[in-house]
Amino acid sequence: MLSSLRRRFQVPSLLGRYWRILKPFRGVYTKCILLLLAYEGIQILGSYQMSMMIRLFGDKANYWWWVLFFVGLVIYDETFIRLDNLLDWHIIIRQNYPLYRYLKLGAIKKFLQMDIDWHQKHNSGALVGKVAQGVEKVEDIMGMIWIEFIPTTIQAVFSLIPLLFISPLAVAISALSFLLFVRFSLKNNKERRPSKERRFDLYETEWHRSIEIVQSVETNYMFGQTDRLINEQADLHQEIMDIGRKEAHRGIYHYNRLELRIIRFARVAILGIWGYQLINGGMDIPTLIFVYTLTERLFSSFWRFSRLIEKTSESAEGANRLANLLEEETGHEAEGEVTTPKTQPVGVELKGVRFTYKKEYDEEQDGLHDVTLDIPAGSVVALVGPSGAGKTTIRKIVTGLMEIQGGDIRVGGVSVKDWDPEKLLEQFSYVPQGDDVFLFNGTVRDNIAFARPKASMEEVERAAVLAGIHDFIMSMAEGYETVVGERGKRLSGGQKQRVALARAILADRPVLILDEATSAVDAITEEEIQQKMAEILHGKTSIIIAHRLSTVWDIANKIVVLERGRKVEEGTHAELMALNGLYSKMALLQTK
């Protein structure tokens, strides 16, 4: 039977996983069990109060026995109240709040440990929804365990001990009915598991779509699609309700009915046994009241167990999805220890690099194929080529955000495999393409100073001047203290990109990567930035990813042309034009 319970209720996969994940709380849980043993033990003593009064009355006890009885009641009640308060305090303060914090921080930490490829394969809204719902469900399960399951189990055991001495046959009937009761409850939940999984899939979809609807509100208004989106959400909720209705119908009209019949049969059978014991002198009235109270408490425990199984099963799907996330393996485990480069300033070198967005290298897939590239320290190297040529991919692999499948990458003369990952990233600052710029919902100053929160106001302003955004910032009523809104929605695309450029300038790191860093700005602003580019790039190794070739003609020491993941040309603007190859064709098209 135990193996059946394990298999049906998935005890190892449920409680076992939580026991591993919640390892820091084991000491707290041990103290809680001790408190519960005392708490439930006192409640069992309380069940004997009425029987004691009847016995005192029947024995015509003197005045002092009655005084002692009521003094004992006062002491009992005060002890019970204090234990109840202590248990509540322990569960709320020692468990609930720390558990919420532990799971939330654990999930965020896990997100930040996963590689970029993992994040690109997962929807951010769905991930946030999964964490929020998962934390809630784990809290529900742990609450049920400590407030319902363990107290009910202790209560049932404590109830059975005196019953075993007074009426062994009643205990046997109770135990049999309990096993049948639990069996049907588990079978009910096993049959409902597929539909619960489907419901949780729909919950995640609904969460993701809700976030998209809010984030795309202006687009919805402009194209008049608000009613359609609301109807689509309504259809999702209707499907969830239909699944829930089918689950509830089977649970209520089939399994719940069977469980009620088991309880009624057991109660009638046990009453018959007690009637026989009364008639034959095997039990007196005070004892009957005591065992009746214990048995009703026991039958009440049956229903509590059934509800616990149902609620735990309902919460388990969301909790297991959070557990899956927390137990998911991170990307490659970097073992490097180098924290500073062997050369200053820092150069970057690729030797025969092979990379695709699959775990195993595949020459037919998009990526990089046998790319060898030397970016000397202090130089300016431009990467150009058609869309999908591999330019942005180079940015991801040289910073260690994605692991190559062949060849070697050296930063500052040290292989990226030997670098401490965090220290490697500290060698780079980066300005993304316009659509990829991320600004936090804070002030302009906070966003510029993101990499250096303690930078002085003068340093922030200087970076903004070089990025061509200072005058605009000062034109706003609150200047650098202006809140930019979610993802910087109060700024235009060009303004966001210039804030991102100022952020990279202020970071002041050895290698600066500009990925179409002026693609979203107007021509006048771009010209202003180009005039300041020499100062921006001074003293740095610079990698400029460009589609507009005119932005790199005069500043790049070397231009590398990529096509379908391969290096096809390399040289200065004049040298490449003389080759009359791919670069020349691109340049001529852009100057017509």
So what's the pLDDT on residue 1? 40
Q: What DSSP string describes 337-359?
A: -B-S-SSSS--EEEEEEEEESSS
So what's the pLDDT on residue 122? 65
Of 302, 327, 352, which residue sits at a domain end?
A: 327
Give 45-91 pLDDT, tens digit per residue: 766 677 777 777 777 878 888 888 888 888 877 888 888 788 778 77
Give a yes or no: residue 132 inside a domain.
yes
Same domain for 202 and 261, yes or no, is yes
Distances (CA, A) of 553 to 381, 550, 558, 573, 574: 11, 5, 9, 6, 9
Instruction: Classify residue 540 as left (phi > 0), alpha (psi -120 to 50) or beta.
Output: beta
Residue 431 confidence class, pLDDT cut points 50, 70, 90:
confident
Q: Whole-prediction pTM value?
A: 0.64
| 228 pLDDT more than 90 | no
Same domain for 228 and 291, yes or no, is yes
Give a yes or no: residue 518 inside a domain.
no
Q: What percent of the chain has pLDDT over 90?
A: 7
Handedness of CA 215, 219, 225, 226 (dihedral sign): positive
Residue 457 confidence class, pLDDT cut points 50, 70, 90:
very high
What is the C-alpha R_g of the chain?
35
Task: Report the amino acid identity of residue 202.
Answer: L
Name which residue leads in pLDDT, 546 or 327: 546
Residues 375, 529: Cα–Cα separation, whole Å: 23
Same domain for 305 and 423, yes or no, is no
Q: What is the mean pLDDT of residues 123-128?
A: 65
Handedness of CA 474, 480, 482, 487 (dihedral sign): positive
Name which residue leads in pLDDT, 135 or 499: 499
Half-sphere exposure of 180 (CA within 13 A, CB side): 19
The domain total for the chain is 2
Give a yes or no: residue 536 inside a domain.
no
Same domain for 278 and 141, yes or no, is yes
Q: What is the mean pLDDT of residues 539-558?
A: 84
Q: Whole-number mean pLDDT of the chain?
A: 79
Pairing of strands 380-384, 558-563: parallel
Block residue for tokens 């955000």:
401
Same domain for 19 and 156, yes or no, is yes
Q: What percent of the chain has pLDDT over 70?
A: 84
Residues 553, 574: Cα–Cα separation, whole Å: 9
Same domain for 314 and 393, yes or no, is no
Same domain for 289 and 366, yes or no, is no
So what's the pLDDT on residue 313? 67
Residue 3 confidence class, pLDDT cut points 50, 70, 90:
very low
Question: What is the CA 535 to chain-centroid distance, rounded?
Answer: 42
Residues 52, 35: Cα–Cα separation, whole Å: 26
Residues 409, 374: Cα–Cα separation, whole Å: 10
So what's the pLDDT on residue 408? 92
Are the beta carbons of 290 and 170 closer than 8 angstroms? no
Q: Give the best-scoring range by mean pLDDT among 187-191, 216-220, 330-334.
A: 187-191
Q: What is the CATH number of the domain that holds 559?
A: 3.40.50.300
Residue 120 confidence class, pLDDT cut points 50, 70, 90:
low
Same domain for 36 and 160, yes or no, is yes
Give a yes or no: residue 449 inside a domain.
no
Give a yes or no: residue 307 inside a domain.
yes
Same domain for 146 and 225, yes or no, is yes
Residue 322 confidence class, pLDDT cut points 50, 70, 90:
confident
| 10 pLDDT more than 60 | no
Give a yes or no: residue 530 inside a domain.
no
Give a yes or no: residue 574 inside a domain.
yes
| 40 pLDDT more than 50 | yes
Residues 546, 392: Cα–Cα separation, whole Å: 10
Q: What is the CATH number of the domain that holds 10?
A: 1.20.1560.10
Pairing of strands 380-384, 541-545: parallel
Are the beta carbons of 500 and 519 closer than 8 angstroms? no
Which H/E stretch holds residue 415?
strand 414-415
Of 272, 294, 327, which residue sits at a domain end?
A: 327
Of 281, 298, 327, which residue sits at a domain end?
A: 327
Same domain for 345 and 298, yes or no, is no
Adjacency order of strands within the sheet including 380-384: 428-431, 511-515, 541-545, 380-384, 558-563, 566-571
Same domain for 185 and 322, yes or no, is yes
So what's the pLDDT on residue 351? 93
Pairing of strands 566-571, 558-563: antiparallel
Range of the domain at 172: 2-327
Give a yes or no: residue 446 inside a domain.
no
| 130 pLDDT more than 90 | no
Q: Give the best-scoring range by mean pLDDT among 20-24, 242-246, 481-485, 491-495.
A: 481-485
Same domain for 227 and 375, yes or no, is no
Residues 303, 185: Cα–Cα separation, whole Å: 10
Task: Report the amino acid identity of residue 142.
Answer: M
